[in-house]
Chain A
Amino acid sequence: MTIEQQLDELSGLEYPKKVDVVDQVMAEVEKKPYLRPVHGRVNWQRISAIAAAAVVVLVAVNVVVFNNLGHDNGSQGIPVAQDNDWNTIEEEAVDTNNTALPTI
């Protein structure tokens, strides 16, 4: 007999006893509640979409915040001297010169 023929002969091999493990399996399954299948399945597409949306929102917020910071820096810069201040000083000088000096 060839190996193939011998294997064919053996192919009718079956476990010679009727198996019943339902009770044992269900007892195992019931005592491990943390291994219970979750209700429904994990929707990875939904999770990816939410994560992508969160990234977009974060980027938008950062853009807005940094733009606002740039405008604020311009208006809070070093105070510029006003023309009025200089005029005041000149007027004071002129006033001093107008004071009549005593003649000898």
Chain B
Amino acid sequence: MEDKQIVEAVLAGDTRKFALIVERYQQIVANLTYKLCGNRLEVEEVTQQVFVELYTALPRFRFDSQLSSFIYRITVNVVCKMMNKAKRFVSADAMEGLPEQRSEDRNAQQQIIYNEQMEQLRTAIGHLKDEQRTALVLYTFEDFSYQQIADVMQCSLSKVESLIFRAKKNLAKEVRQ
């Protein structure tokens, strides 16, 4: 069943169909949330909140963009709201426990250096401003185009370009220190 058909069924009163949307997008929302806030303790809570807000916002959805973009937009807003409320920042501690990315091409020493670089990068991403982190994560980790990011963040193309440029500049500055 396509997204549009499910949304129309839900709006016509068949609330149970909303579960299909949750099943379809929950892992995507969780992954994006994890990349944005990096706190594994909050990911399920944020994911749940995203879908509750989606349900409330569904009558406003006009299918002038994809449902996934609408969901991404809500996810970004909910994450920013909850992070501001909790005043938490992504930290290296919050992202610990991730499986190390090993490669057969690297020897042990190279692997250690590699892991340290990755850890530094994660910390630096956590220190970015919300808007810069959102734009960067959507561009780098979700392969969104500039236009798609502009749709999600409801800003201009030039602002998206500027945010990504400044995010990379700030990352490079922090990682080099």
Contacts and interface: CB of A to CB of B under 8 A. Distances in A.
Co-complex (A, B) = yes
Given A10-B121, A22-B22, A41-B11, A28 B58 contact: no
Contacts of A24: 48
Given A13-B35, A13-B141, A21 B55 contact: no
Interface string B29-65: 1110111000010011001100110011011000000
Interface in A14-36: 14-22, 24-26, 28-30, 35-36
Task: Say whether chain B's binding surface is mostly helix, strand, loop, or mixed.
Answer: helix
Interface centre among A13, A18, A38 (most CB of B within 10 A): A13
B55 A35 contact: yes
Given A37-B11, A37-B59, A15 B168 contact: no
Task: Say whether chain A's binding surface is mostly helix, strand, loop, or mixed.
Answer: loop
B92 interface: no
B47 A19 contact: yes
B57 to A, nearest CB: 9
B175 interface: yes
How large, as a class, is the contact surface on chain A? 20 to 34
Interface stretch (B72-80, B95-103, B152-160): B95-103
B53 to A, nearest CB: 10
B12 interface: yes
A4 B136 CA distance: 11
Contacts of B26: 19-22
Contacts of A28: 48, 52
Given A13-B31, A35-B55, 8 more contacts: A3-B121, A8-B140, A13-B35, A15-B43, A19-B29, A21-B47, A28-B48, A38-B11
